Structure 1
Amino acid sequence: MWNFSSGPSMLPYDVIHQMSFDILDWNSTGVSVFDISHRSKYFEIIYNEAESDLRELLGLSSDYCILFMQGGGQGANAIIPMNIIGRNGINMADFIVSGYWSSKSYIEACKYGDASIVASSNYAMKIDYQDCNPYTWFPKIESIKTRACSSYLQFCSNETINGVEFVDWNGLVNSIDGNAVLVADVSSNFLTRELDINCTGVVFSCAQKNAGISGVTIFIVRKDLIGMSLNICPSVFDYKNVVNSESRYNTPPVFAIYVSGLVFKWLKSNGGIKRMESNNLEKSRMFYDFIDSTSFYTNTIHSSVRSRVNIPFFLKNDFLTDIFVEKAESSGIINIKGHRSMGGLRASMYNAMPIDGINALINYMRDFERYYG
């Protein structure tokens, strides 16, 4: 079965294979990885290796901390403003809205201070969805200007639902007015391509797409931003507490961190991020070339910001969508249905998805078009 889910996504086979042993006996200790305490020397090994391997993969500066937290993307949208929106003495933050998730970030931040949309790729500046994709491009950098007293500028590097990917992070940094820092939601393109994390203040990623399983959210925080939380911030979500306790202020998601550690090792042994970027470019190019070769399927995202990892597409006749999904599953292709807010279809092609899976999907789509076109 080829799993095209946006998350939880498929894991590399080698990772699942190793898990099958460690669930019964981790590292020849006689202890299941399920039974490992977060206060034990065993977890100390798991945690330290995961943190070290991820830092190496990213080429991360010593100016940054890596935090393994909980809460997912929804939680991160609250954790970030509660930690840094007040860093300038004024609770103010700016947002670029380029799709569903960046709009969620903005809406959540409004609870903690003066949040403003400084750029949007939705002409109507709407934050609602009506079974369509109002976001098909990313705002031009020259149109983006932060407010002078803003604490940070937040954007989504890859809109998982809308299929818009933006990677000119340094260009955004240059558009910042004042001393705001850049905050990036990288949940769905984390580890899929080289990204300049060292130009940001905070990035976060939910692990269940390219970095493991659901349950852990990875934050990368510049050290000078730690210790500025609002009084209302729960102690368990205060970056300072999490850093000082090495992500063990409360019981962390031990198993999820362990799986992320295995994924990092798999990445290192398979050419690292540079190799993943090459693979993902090839996979997405194959799929877009096929989409563009036929009028039976459509993708409306501007070519300059088409996502390499989340590709929404639609059938010329929407009546056929449910039939497409049903027959796809019987052909070994699962979780291809589009997000409920947009409808249509979506293929998520993360690091663990091999080219064979893309070929299987394209062949199925060709057959479907021959029969129903």
Structure 2
Amino acid sequence: MNLSIFFEPLPEALFGGDDNPKSVGGYIAPFLHSFPDWRSAEVVLIGLPEYRGTAGASEISFQGPNLIRKELYQLMKGTGPWLVMDLGNLLPGIHLEDTYLRLKEVVEMLVDEGKFPILLGGSHDLTYGQFLGYEHLNKTVSLAIVDSQLDMQENKDAAPDQSHLHRLLLHEPNYLFSFSQLGYQAYLTPTTTLAALEKLHFELFRIGQVRQQLKEMEPVIRQADLLSFDVSAIKHQDAPGQQHANPFGLTGEEACQICWYAGQSDQLSSFGLYGYRPEFDHRALTATTLATMVWYTIEGFYQRLRNLDFQSNNFLRFSVGFHDNPNKMIFYKNRQTDKWWMQVDDLSGQRPPMVVPCSYQDYLTAVDGEVPNRWILTQARI
């Protein structure tokens, strides 16, 4: 498939060249005249100027992805090789559903080729198109979302960006293994929705939990195959360019830390950044925040281990026994990064053991004689 037919080039006046060869713009190959050879890249940027899934879309500026790029290109390049290409903006389909399917095809091809797409949206319902890009893999995948609320409205009149999660969870065939939401605000979320998701053994973390235990979010992110980040999860002071102003949420620094975790995750294969509304963005503060988040994601990408052989000398193996159970719980710790994994055996014996990301605190919980909650949730999903 020729990917170039799906994209429009970037305006040369904004991205035609960069005076500083040490900046990000001096390293990224953008789509200006000829479509870049994306197969020689490792990270691929894609703009999604699609807002038909949100209320009041007719009043929206569609320059969001370009404004994020403008700020990103001015930042200084990090320590990695930064083999990054910018494919330009995805051409919207005739209908919104066509855009979902178009995004599906693009994500599918890039993931198959081992590339890491970073999607600059666009309304949050485009997460659905990102998710569809994994349908062909014939395996289950894990999804993590960072958002101030759960987009699960069942009202038929609700905008897609307020109901897309409900559609995603009910998608057939069902290939979703686990779902985690970080940063939801309880006063914006119906308790019935929380109860329904908890019955499905999904992990939900309030904004207070995320901020107080940010390091504990790292294994949650590390387990995800795809990550969707809505700008509404960031407080208005750090990111005013959002539809609903909210004085509470993540700080810009905390959002960048989550993106750093995402970039480092060997399992994560696509990252979507959604919900940016330029018409509310005074002095491009949100564009700067989001550009910095993208910077940390790319820089984290070049810190990946790329070798998760738990039997190698790179990992320490710990066995934790329980006084009332002859079985032992197995943990692995990477010597270089100090990151932890936990082995979860299928109690029915029908499937091979799974090794899932965990934290040092999970190991300490097991040492104290208690079964970690992450082990229980994983066992329930097997």
Tell me if both proteins adopt one fold, taking TM over 0.5 as the criterion.
no
Question: How does the TM-score come out when normalised to structure 1?
Answer: 0.29
Higher normalized contact order (CA 8 Å, seq sep 6+, divided by chain length): 1
